[in-house]
Structure 1
Amino acid sequence: MIESYAVLLVAALAVVAVVWLAVERIATGRLAVRDRVLVNLQTGDAVTGVLWSRRGRLVVIRDAAVMSPGQREPRPVDGDVIVDRDQVAFVQRVGG
């Protein structure tokens, strides 16, 4: 009898954990996606552009330009810029 309650408890906790992770992923998965952002990197450089997607540990920026400390104008970059989240200090939404 106690064993069946233990199994039910473990199953209920597993369901709660799965639902929690799904809600968290949905809620944070679209945060600022398709908005113009400034991604500040741990190195002090920054990337500005449109946050196109977040795929696992990667952040994809389109229509990107790179800015370095002391540089007056951003340098346009061909193609998408892909940044690992470990390299991101913080992200700012800039406009709209």
Structure 2
Amino acid sequence: MRLTDVTSTMETILTALPTVPPYRVGGTSAALLKGVQLPAGDIDVLVARRADVDTFAAALSPFPYPAAWLPETAPTGTSPSSATWRPTAATPPSCAGR
């Protein structure tokens, strides 16, 4: 993915949302948005509440590859209903969003 891929995809996603909950873009896509040149294969979107995950999933459902729970990529002991992210004082500045 290129920077333009990330920005245009995020614009498409955010336009599809009925309301935009607070979110962060993480991983290699966040690095691209910050100007770091490296290969990115996906866009990691982080939200704080389960309802926000559902909102993003519903907005993405009409697209060919909707969001999916990938248990093999999850930390041990998590499930779709228990995997949550909460910002802390130690949250790295590598996340971009609002």
TM-score, structure 1 as length reference: 0.22
State which structure, 1 or 2, has the greater radius of gyration over its C-alpha atoms.
Answer: 1
| Structure with greater proportional strand content | 1
| Structure possessing the higher relative contact order (Cα contacts under 8 Å, 6 or more residues apart) | 2
